[in-house]
Structure 1
Amino acid sequence: MRLLFLTNRANALRARISNTFTLPERFKGTVVEKWAKYWTGLVRDYKDVGVDVVKFGYNKPRKALVITGASLGLYACVKRNPDEEVFLQLLRQWNNKLILVSPTEQNVIAKEYVRDLELVLNRNTLRTLSLGFCTLLWVDLYSKDDCTYKAICEYTGVDYLKFYQYIIDIGFWNRYWRLDWKMRNFDINYL
Protein backbone atom coordinates (compact mmCIF):
# COMPACT_ATOMS: atom_id res chain seq x y z
CA MET A 1 0.00 0.00 0.00
CA ARG A 2 2.76 2.38 0.89
CA LEU A 3 4.36 1.70 -2.49
CA LEU A 4 1.20 2.72 -4.33
CA PHE A 5 1.02 5.87 -2.22
CA LEU A 6 4.60 6.77 -3.21
CA THR A 7 3.88 5.98 -6.86
CA ASN A 8 0.80 8.23 -6.81
CA ARG A 9 2.81 11.04 -5.21
CA ALA A 10 5.56 10.66 -7.83
CA ASN A 11 3.00 10.78 -10.66
CA ALA A 12 1.34 13.88 -9.18
CA LEU A 13 4.70 15.59 -8.77
CA ARG A 14 5.67 14.74 -12.35
CA ALA A 15 2.37 16.09 -13.68
CA ARG A 16 2.79 19.30 -11.68
CA ILE A 17 6.34 19.81 -12.98
CA SER A 18 5.36 19.07 -16.57
CA ASN A 19 2.50 21.59 -16.30
CA THR A 20 4.73 24.32 -14.90
CA PHE A 21 7.77 23.70 -17.08
CA THR A 22 7.26 24.11 -20.79
CA LEU A 23 9.76 25.00 -23.45
CA PRO A 24 9.54 28.47 -24.98
CA GLU A 25 8.21 28.72 -28.52
CA ARG A 26 11.65 29.47 -29.95
CA PHE A 27 12.94 26.02 -28.87
CA LYS A 28 10.04 24.02 -30.30
CA GLY A 29 11.05 21.84 -33.24
CA THR A 30 14.77 22.27 -32.54
CA VAL A 31 17.46 20.02 -31.15
CA VAL A 32 16.81 21.38 -27.66
CA GLU A 33 13.24 20.05 -27.69
CA LYS A 34 14.40 16.63 -28.90
CA TRP A 35 17.10 16.61 -26.23
CA ALA A 36 14.57 17.52 -23.51
CA LYS A 37 12.18 14.79 -24.71
CA TYR A 38 15.03 12.28 -24.70
CA TRP A 39 16.03 13.05 -21.11
CA THR A 40 12.45 13.10 -19.81
CA GLY A 41 11.84 9.73 -21.50
CA LEU A 42 15.05 8.35 -20.01
CA VAL A 43 14.12 9.52 -16.50
CA ARG A 44 10.62 8.05 -16.93
CA ASP A 45 12.05 4.70 -18.03
CA TYR A 46 14.45 4.50 -15.08
CA LYS A 47 11.66 5.49 -12.70
CA ASP A 48 9.50 2.68 -14.09
CA VAL A 49 12.35 0.20 -13.68
CA GLY A 50 12.87 1.32 -10.08
CA VAL A 51 9.18 0.95 -9.29
CA ASP A 52 9.09 -2.49 -10.92
CA VAL A 53 12.12 -3.63 -8.91
CA VAL A 54 10.51 -2.51 -5.65
CA LYS A 55 7.23 -4.22 -6.56
CA PHE A 56 9.13 -7.40 -7.41
CA GLY A 57 10.89 -7.21 -4.04
CA TYR A 58 7.57 -6.97 -2.24
CA ASN A 59 5.95 -9.76 -4.24
CA LYS A 60 8.85 -12.25 -4.12
CA PRO A 61 11.16 -11.29 -1.25
CA ARG A 62 13.21 -14.50 -1.20
CA LYS A 63 13.99 -14.40 -4.88
CA ALA A 64 14.83 -10.69 -4.63
CA LEU A 65 17.15 -11.41 -1.70
CA VAL A 66 18.93 -14.19 -3.61
CA ILE A 67 19.35 -12.00 -6.69
CA THR A 68 20.60 -9.06 -4.61
CA GLY A 69 23.02 -11.26 -2.67
CA ALA A 70 24.39 -12.85 -5.84
CA SER A 71 24.79 -9.44 -7.46
CA LEU A 72 26.62 -8.03 -4.46
CA GLY A 73 28.84 -11.13 -4.26
CA LEU A 74 29.74 -10.87 -7.93
CA TYR A 75 30.45 -7.15 -7.51
CA ALA A 76 32.75 -7.89 -4.55
CA CYS A 77 34.58 -10.55 -6.61
CA VAL A 78 35.08 -8.10 -9.47
CA LYS A 79 36.41 -5.42 -7.10
CA ARG A 80 38.90 -7.89 -5.57
CA ASN A 81 40.03 -9.48 -8.84
CA PRO A 82 43.85 -9.68 -8.71
CA ASP A 83 46.06 -8.76 -11.62
CA GLU A 84 49.64 -9.52 -12.66
CA GLU A 85 51.08 -6.91 -10.29
CA VAL A 86 49.48 -8.66 -7.30
CA PHE A 87 50.95 -11.95 -8.49
CA LEU A 88 54.44 -10.46 -8.80
CA GLN A 89 54.20 -8.94 -5.32
CA LEU A 90 53.06 -12.25 -3.81
CA LEU A 91 55.81 -14.12 -5.65
CA ARG A 92 58.43 -11.69 -4.33
CA GLN A 93 57.10 -12.06 -0.78
CA TRP A 94 57.17 -15.86 -0.95
CA ASN A 95 60.59 -15.82 -2.58
CA ASN A 96 61.95 -13.59 0.20
CA LYS A 97 60.52 -15.91 2.83
CA LEU A 98 61.99 -18.92 1.04
CA ILE A 99 65.44 -17.32 0.83
CA LEU A 100 65.51 -16.84 4.60
CA VAL A 101 65.27 -20.60 5.13
CA SER A 102 68.36 -22.78 4.83
CA PRO A 103 68.52 -24.69 1.51
CA THR A 104 68.57 -27.99 3.37
CA GLU A 105 65.34 -27.07 5.18
CA GLN A 106 63.43 -25.82 2.12
CA ASN A 107 60.54 -27.84 0.79
CA VAL A 108 61.54 -29.22 -2.61
CA ILE A 109 58.08 -28.69 -4.13
CA ALA A 110 57.94 -25.02 -3.10
CA LYS A 111 61.51 -24.40 -4.22
CA GLU A 112 60.92 -25.93 -7.67
CA TYR A 113 57.64 -24.08 -8.12
CA VAL A 114 59.24 -20.70 -7.37
CA ARG A 115 62.17 -21.55 -9.65
CA ASP A 116 59.78 -22.47 -12.48
CA LEU A 117 57.86 -19.23 -12.03
CA GLU A 118 61.10 -17.25 -12.13
CA LEU A 119 62.05 -19.00 -15.37
CA VAL A 120 58.68 -18.13 -16.88
CA LEU A 121 59.11 -14.50 -15.85
CA ASN A 122 62.66 -14.37 -17.23
CA ARG A 123 61.49 -15.82 -20.56
CA ASN A 124 58.69 -13.21 -20.61
CA THR A 125 56.05 -15.84 -21.37
CA LEU A 126 53.68 -15.19 -18.45
CA ARG A 127 50.23 -14.07 -19.61
CA THR A 128 47.10 -13.08 -17.75
CA LEU A 129 43.49 -13.59 -18.74
CA SER A 130 41.03 -11.65 -16.62
CA LEU A 131 37.53 -13.10 -16.56
CA GLY A 132 36.12 -10.25 -14.49
CA PHE A 133 35.70 -12.11 -11.22
CA CYS A 134 38.90 -14.22 -11.44
CA THR A 135 42.21 -14.15 -13.30
CA LEU A 136 43.97 -17.00 -15.06
CA LEU A 137 47.77 -16.98 -15.26
CA TRP A 138 49.11 -19.07 -18.09
CA VAL A 139 52.38 -19.71 -19.87
CA ASP A 140 52.59 -18.83 -23.53
CA LEU A 141 54.82 -20.71 -25.94
CA TYR A 142 56.71 -17.62 -27.06
CA SER A 143 57.90 -14.39 -25.52
CA LYS A 144 56.05 -11.11 -25.96
CA ASP A 145 59.08 -9.68 -27.72
CA ASP A 146 59.60 -12.64 -30.07
CA CYS A 147 59.11 -11.61 -33.70
CA THR A 148 59.70 -14.93 -35.43
CA TYR A 149 57.11 -16.45 -37.72
CA LYS A 150 56.13 -19.11 -35.18
CA ALA A 151 55.48 -16.49 -32.52
CA ILE A 152 53.41 -14.23 -34.79
CA CYS A 153 51.38 -16.86 -36.67
CA GLU A 154 47.97 -17.42 -35.05
CA TYR A 155 47.99 -21.14 -35.94
CA THR A 156 51.15 -21.96 -33.98
CA GLY A 157 49.92 -20.55 -30.68
CA VAL A 158 48.35 -22.31 -27.74
CA ASP A 159 45.50 -24.59 -28.83
CA TYR A 160 42.17 -23.76 -27.19
CA LEU A 161 41.46 -27.41 -26.45
CA LYS A 162 44.77 -27.76 -24.58
CA PHE A 163 44.66 -24.35 -22.91
CA TYR A 164 44.04 -25.86 -19.47
CA GLN A 165 47.51 -27.48 -19.61
CA TYR A 166 49.18 -24.07 -19.74
CA ILE A 167 47.35 -22.55 -16.76
CA ILE A 168 49.74 -22.17 -13.84
CA ASP A 169 47.58 -20.28 -11.35
CA ILE A 170 44.11 -18.92 -10.68
CA GLY A 171 43.63 -15.57 -8.97
CA PHE A 172 40.48 -14.99 -6.98
CA TRP A 173 39.66 -12.62 -4.12
CA ASN A 174 43.11 -10.92 -4.16
CA ARG A 175 44.91 -14.26 -3.83
CA TYR A 176 46.61 -16.65 -6.18
CA TRP A 177 45.47 -19.98 -4.87
CA ARG A 178 48.03 -22.38 -6.34
CA LEU A 179 50.93 -20.19 -5.23
CA ASP A 180 49.56 -20.12 -1.68
CA TRP A 181 48.91 -23.87 -1.75
CA LYS A 182 52.41 -24.75 -3.00
CA MET A 183 54.06 -22.45 -0.46
CA ARG A 184 52.07 -23.50 2.61
CA ASN A 185 54.93 -25.68 3.96
CA PHE A 186 57.91 -24.00 2.33
CA ASP A 187 60.22 -24.46 5.30
CA ILE A 188 59.83 -28.20 5.86
CA ASN A 189 62.14 -30.73 4.28
CA TYR A 190 60.27 -33.96 3.45
CA LEU A 191 63.36 -36.01 2.61
Structure 2
Amino acid sequence: MRVVGSRVLALQQRIGEKFTLPERFKGTFVEKWTTYWKGLVRDYSEVAVGVVKESYAKPKKALFYGTGIVALYQAAARNPGEEAFMTQLRHQSNRMITVAMKQQNPVSANYLLMLERAINQNKLRLLPLGIFTLVWVDLYDADDCTYPAICEYTSVSIWNFHERVIDVGFWNQFWRLKWKMRNYDVNYL
Protein backbone atom coordinates (compact mmCIF):
# COMPACT_ATOMS: atom_id res chain seq x y z
CA MET A 1 0.00 0.00 0.00
CA ARG A 2 2.89 2.36 0.66
CA VAL A 3 4.26 1.60 -2.79
CA VAL A 4 1.33 3.33 -4.51
CA GLY A 5 1.61 6.47 -2.37
CA SER A 6 5.38 6.71 -2.73
CA ARG A 7 5.21 6.26 -6.52
CA VAL A 8 2.67 9.05 -6.88
CA LEU A 9 4.69 11.33 -4.60
CA ALA A 10 7.88 10.64 -6.59
CA LEU A 11 6.07 11.34 -9.86
CA GLN A 12 4.74 14.63 -8.51
CA GLN A 13 8.22 15.72 -7.42
CA ARG A 14 9.76 14.86 -10.81
CA ILE A 15 7.04 16.79 -12.65
CA GLY A 16 7.45 19.74 -10.25
CA GLU A 17 11.17 19.84 -10.89
CA LYS A 18 10.85 19.72 -14.69
CA PHE A 19 8.19 22.39 -15.02
CA THR A 20 9.06 25.73 -13.48
CA LEU A 21 7.40 29.04 -14.16
CA PRO A 22 9.53 31.71 -15.89
CA GLU A 23 10.36 34.84 -13.90
CA ARG A 24 8.21 37.09 -16.04
CA PHE A 25 5.05 35.25 -14.86
CA LYS A 26 5.81 35.52 -11.12
CA GLY A 27 3.14 37.48 -9.24
CA THR A 28 0.71 37.50 -12.17
CA PHE A 29 -2.56 35.81 -12.97
CA VAL A 30 -0.66 32.97 -14.67
CA GLU A 31 1.15 32.09 -11.44
CA LYS A 32 -2.13 32.03 -9.51
CA TRP A 33 -3.69 29.91 -12.22
CA THR A 34 -0.84 27.36 -12.20
CA THR A 35 -0.89 27.26 -8.40
CA TYR A 36 -4.61 26.54 -8.49
CA TRP A 37 -4.19 23.69 -10.99
CA LYS A 38 -1.23 22.21 -9.11
CA GLY A 39 -3.30 22.19 -5.92
CA LEU A 40 -6.23 20.63 -7.72
CA VAL A 41 -4.06 17.87 -9.21
CA ARG A 42 -2.44 17.26 -5.81
CA ASP A 43 -5.83 16.97 -4.09
CA TYR A 44 -7.27 14.58 -6.66
CA SER A 45 -4.13 12.45 -6.69
CA GLU A 46 -4.35 12.18 -2.89
CA VAL A 47 -7.96 11.06 -3.22
CA ALA A 48 -7.00 8.51 -5.88
CA VAL A 49 -4.19 7.15 -3.69
CA GLY A 50 -6.59 6.96 -0.76
CA VAL A 51 -9.13 5.04 -2.83
CA VAL A 52 -6.49 2.55 -3.99
CA LYS A 53 -5.20 2.06 -0.45
CA GLU A 54 -8.72 1.54 0.89
CA SER A 55 -9.51 -0.92 -1.91
CA TYR A 56 -6.50 -3.00 -0.85
CA ALA A 57 -7.64 -2.83 2.78
CA LYS A 58 -11.33 -3.59 2.07
CA PRO A 59 -11.64 -5.45 -1.25
CA LYS A 60 -15.28 -6.48 -0.79
CA LYS A 61 -16.37 -2.89 -0.24
CA ALA A 62 -14.35 -1.75 -3.27
CA LEU A 63 -15.92 -4.51 -5.39
CA PHE A 64 -19.40 -3.49 -4.22
CA TYR A 65 -18.84 0.19 -5.06
CA GLY A 66 -17.16 -0.62 -8.36
CA THR A 67 -19.99 -2.91 -9.40
CA GLY A 68 -22.54 -0.24 -8.43
CA ILE A 69 -20.77 2.44 -10.45
CA VAL A 70 -20.49 0.19 -13.52
CA ALA A 71 -24.17 -0.81 -13.20
CA LEU A 72 -25.27 2.85 -13.02
CA TYR A 73 -23.10 3.72 -16.00
CA GLN A 74 -24.53 0.86 -18.06
CA ALA A 75 -28.10 1.80 -17.08
CA ALA A 76 -27.46 5.40 -18.14
CA ALA A 77 -25.92 4.25 -21.42
CA ARG A 78 -28.97 2.07 -22.14
CA ASN A 79 -31.58 4.63 -21.09
CA PRO A 80 -34.28 4.54 -23.80
CA GLY A 81 -35.55 7.71 -25.40
CA GLU A 82 -38.47 8.81 -27.54
CA GLU A 83 -37.21 6.98 -30.62
CA ALA A 84 -36.99 3.69 -28.71
CA PHE A 85 -40.50 4.20 -27.33
CA MET A 86 -41.97 4.90 -30.75
CA THR A 87 -40.16 1.91 -32.25
CA GLN A 88 -41.43 -0.40 -29.53
CA LEU A 89 -44.96 1.02 -29.85
CA ARG A 90 -44.96 0.52 -33.62
CA HIS A 91 -43.71 -3.04 -33.21
CA GLN A 92 -46.43 -3.88 -30.69
CA SER A 93 -49.11 -2.17 -32.80
CA ASN A 94 -48.04 -4.20 -35.83
CA ARG A 95 -48.29 -7.37 -33.79
CA MET A 96 -51.79 -6.39 -32.63
CA ILE A 97 -52.95 -5.60 -36.18
CA THR A 98 -52.25 -9.17 -37.26
CA VAL A 99 -54.90 -10.46 -34.85
CA ALA A 100 -58.62 -10.22 -35.59
CA MET A 101 -60.61 -7.73 -33.47
CA LYS A 102 -62.59 -10.43 -31.64
CA GLN A 103 -59.43 -12.31 -30.72
CA GLN A 104 -57.56 -9.32 -29.26
CA ASN A 105 -57.04 -8.96 -25.56
CA PRO A 106 -59.15 -5.91 -24.56
CA VAL A 107 -56.57 -4.74 -21.99
CA SER A 108 -53.79 -4.69 -24.59
CA ALA A 109 -56.00 -3.10 -27.23
CA ASN A 110 -57.20 -0.35 -24.85
CA TYR A 111 -53.65 0.41 -23.74
CA LEU A 112 -52.46 0.80 -27.34
CA LEU A 113 -55.50 2.93 -28.15
CA MET A 114 -54.80 5.20 -25.15
CA LEU A 115 -51.17 5.63 -26.25
CA GLU A 116 -52.18 6.41 -29.82
CA ARG A 117 -54.72 9.00 -28.67
CA ALA A 118 -52.15 10.67 -26.42
CA ILE A 119 -49.68 10.84 -29.30
CA ASN A 120 -52.31 12.21 -31.72
CA GLN A 121 -53.39 14.86 -29.20
CA ASN A 122 -49.72 15.75 -28.55
CA LYS A 123 -50.10 15.06 -24.83
CA LEU A 124 -47.56 12.26 -24.48
CA ARG A 125 -44.37 13.38 -22.73
CA LEU A 126 -41.10 11.63 -21.98
CA LEU A 127 -39.00 12.61 -18.98
CA PRO A 128 -35.47 11.13 -19.11
CA LEU A 129 -33.97 10.89 -15.63
CA GLY A 130 -30.48 9.55 -16.31
CA ILE A 131 -30.90 5.84 -15.67
CA PHE A 132 -34.60 5.55 -16.52
CA THR A 133 -37.29 7.41 -18.48
CA LEU A 134 -40.83 8.19 -17.41
CA VAL A 135 -43.61 8.33 -19.98
CA TRP A 136 -46.58 10.42 -18.87
CA VAL A 137 -49.69 12.02 -20.28
CA ASP A 138 -50.06 15.76 -19.84
CA LEU A 139 -53.36 17.56 -19.42
CA TYR A 140 -52.88 19.83 -22.42
CA ASP A 141 -51.31 19.81 -25.86
CA ALA A 142 -47.67 20.95 -25.97
CA ASP A 143 -48.58 23.75 -28.40
CA ASP A 144 -51.68 24.90 -26.53
CA CYS A 145 -51.47 28.58 -25.57
CA THR A 146 -54.79 28.96 -23.74
CA TYR A 147 -54.80 30.23 -20.19
CA PRO A 148 -55.47 26.86 -18.51
CA ALA A 149 -52.59 25.29 -20.44
CA ILE A 150 -50.01 27.89 -19.40
CA CYS A 151 -51.22 28.63 -15.88
CA GLU A 152 -49.02 27.05 -13.24
CA TYR A 153 -52.02 26.25 -11.02
CA THR A 154 -53.81 24.14 -13.65
CA SER A 155 -50.76 22.16 -14.79
CA VAL A 156 -49.67 18.78 -13.48
CA SER A 157 -47.97 19.35 -10.14
CA ILE A 158 -45.28 17.32 -8.50
CA TRP A 159 -47.81 16.02 -5.96
CA ASN A 160 -50.05 14.31 -8.52
CA PHE A 161 -47.44 13.62 -11.20
CA HIS A 162 -47.28 9.93 -10.26
CA GLU A 163 -50.94 9.55 -11.30
CA ARG A 164 -50.08 10.64 -14.86
CA VAL A 165 -47.14 8.24 -15.38
CA ILE A 166 -48.13 5.45 -17.77
CA ASP A 167 -44.80 3.71 -18.48
CA VAL A 168 -41.21 3.42 -17.30
CA GLY A 169 -38.29 2.91 -19.65
CA PHE A 170 -35.22 1.14 -18.32
CA TRP A 171 -32.46 -0.85 -20.01
CA ASN A 172 -33.71 -0.22 -23.58
CA GLN A 173 -37.25 -1.40 -22.77
CA PHE A 174 -40.52 0.23 -21.83
CA TRP A 175 -41.72 -2.26 -19.29
CA ARG A 176 -45.43 -1.53 -18.96
CA LEU A 177 -45.92 -1.63 -22.72
CA LYS A 178 -44.09 -4.94 -22.79
CA TRP A 179 -46.17 -6.24 -19.86
CA LYS A 180 -49.51 -5.19 -21.36
CA MET A 181 -48.66 -6.84 -24.68
CA ARG A 182 -47.49 -10.19 -23.31
CA ASN A 183 -50.92 -11.81 -23.93
CA TYR A 184 -52.43 -9.79 -26.74
CA ASP A 185 -54.26 -12.47 -28.72
CA VAL A 186 -57.06 -14.99 -28.24
CA ASN A 187 -55.07 -17.01 -25.69
CA TYR A 188 -54.94 -14.15 -23.21
CA LEU A 189 -56.96 -15.96 -20.51
| TM-based fold match above 0.5 | yes
Matching residue within 55, 58, 69 for 2:56: 58
Conserved? CA contact 1:77–1:134, under 8 Å: yes
Residue in 2 that maps onto 1:124: 122
Conserved? CA contact 1:126–1:139, under 8 Å: yes
Q: 3-state SS of the aligned residue for 1:144?
A: coil
Q: 3-state SS of the aligned residue for 1:155?
A: coil
Conserved? CA contact 2:168–2:176, under 8 Å: yes
Residue 172 of structure 1 pairs with residue 174 of structure 2: no
Conserved? CA contact 1:138–1:167, under 8 Å: yes
TM-score by length of 2: 0.92
Q: 3-state SS of the aligned residue for 1:127?
A: strand
Structure 2: 5+ residue stretches without partners? none
Conserved? CA contact 2:4–2:49, under 8 Å: no
Deviation at 1:82, TM superposition (A): 1.1
Deviation at 1:90, TM superposition (A): 0.5
Distance 2:21 2:164 in 1: 63
Runs of 4+ more than 6 Å apart: none
Conserved? CA contact 1:129–1:135, under 8 Å: yes
Residue in 1 that maps onto 2:159: 161
- CA 1:155–1:8 in structure 2 vs 1: closer, same or farther (change >3 Å)? same
Deviations 1:46-80 (A, max 9, x none): 21111010011112211111111111111111111
Conserved? CA contact 1:80–1:174, under 8 Å: yes
Conserved? CA contact 1:108–1:189, under 8 Å: no
TM-score by length of 1: 0.91
Conserved? CA contact 1:83–1:135, under 8 Å: yes
Q: 3-state SS of the aligned residue for 1:10?
A: helix
Structure 1: 5+ residue stretches without partners? none
Instruction: State the identity %.
Output: 53
Residue in 2 that maps onto 1:17: 15
Deviation at 1:9, TM superposition (A): 3.0
Conserved? CA contact 1:136–1:169, under 8 Å: yes
Amino acid paired to 2:134: L
Query: How much is the aligned-residue C-alpha RMSD, in angstroms?
Result: 1.7
Deviation at 1:118, TM superposition (A): 0.4
- CA 1:13–1:141 in structure 2 vs 1: closer, same or farther (change >3 Å)? closer
Matching residue within 45, 69, 72 for 1:71: 69
Deviation at 1:176, TM superposition (A): 0.6
Matching residue within 17, 21, 25 for 1:27: 25
Residue 145 of structure 1 pairs with residue 134 of structure 2: no
Residue in 2 that maps onto 1:93: 91
Conserved? CA contact 1:137–1:168, under 8 Å: yes
